[in-house]
Amino acid sequence: MKIGRKRDGDKGTLIMIHGNSSSSAIFEPVFEEHTLLVEKVTVGLPGHAKTPWPPHSFQGLVQDLVQLFHQCTGPVFVLGHSLGGHIAIELLSKKVPLAGLILCGTPPLTKPYNFEAGFLPVAETQTYFTVHPTVDAIAVLAQKITLDPIVRQQIIKDFNQTDPLFRAALLTSFETGFWSDQFALFTKADCPRLLIVGEQDLLVNPAYIEQVCAQAGENCNLVNIDEGGHFLPLENPTAFTKELTRFISENL
């Protein structure tokens, strides 16, 4: 894992995990937010940003994150975007005492995996599960899921810098049943939780996210943010960092 750190305060730590075929660039607005008085730690997943996917497993990746957690100081919050959110939820299965869990663009799935409930039926998103997508397929996906031309460029860049072996390993992880019942883990968790949804997100089913939040009880909040989709931290950084900062401040 490639770790980035920036300390704007000593009140705790925020670990940020990006998604499939993405990069820590999605958290740049959060990384540069000086009013968030914690140490910010970005996790660059193996196989991304021109790094190779090693002879590794998702089990090993989660264990690496557990070790990272124990190296952090103060209350530790974890923010996961898209697949990064699914990885973050797995920390709950390791009994890691999180101060708070924030998910953006991540529907906690049941097991057997209820993809059809958590995600919207958008054909272009199958590119995320294609080991060797074509240049045209990546461009069409970027065009479909965001209206922001700069974000489109970032999506294409990150895809091109991702090792195809990562997507192959991701497919294997679903086929072999690696992922837990994340719906149960998330809804029964003791820590404060925040679900952030971009109202123009074409990947995640908003009705399902509402069901998850309702089942999770009073220690879970749902925030819908306009003028943003699946890549909300980049598409509407002001609104996203405001809600993130508020949640962390209230739970320090």
Give tens-digit pLDDT for 142-201: 999 998 999 999 999 999 999 999 999 999 999 999 999 999 999 999 999 999 999 999
Of 31-40, 94-103, 206-215, the least confident: 31-40
Strand order in the sheet with 220-225: 2-7, 39-44, 13-17, 76-81, 100-104, 193-198, 220-225
Quick one: which of 20, 178, 13 has its CA closest to 96?
13
Distance CA 49, CA 171 (A): 20
Q: Report pTM.
A: 0.96
Query: What do you get for the CA distance between the two ends of the chain, in Å?
Result: 27
Q: Tell me if 104 sits within 8 A of 81, measured CB to CB.
A: yes
**pLDDT of the residue at 56:** 74
Distance CA 136, CA 169 (A): 23
Answer yes or no: is pLDDT of 9 > 80.
no
φ and ψ at residue 203, rounded to 5 degrees: -100, -45
- What is the longest distance spanned by two Cα atoms in the chain? 46
Distance CA 223, CA 138 (A): 29
Query: Going from the N-terminus, what domains does the chain have, and what CATH number goes with each?
Result: 2-251 (3.40.50.1820)
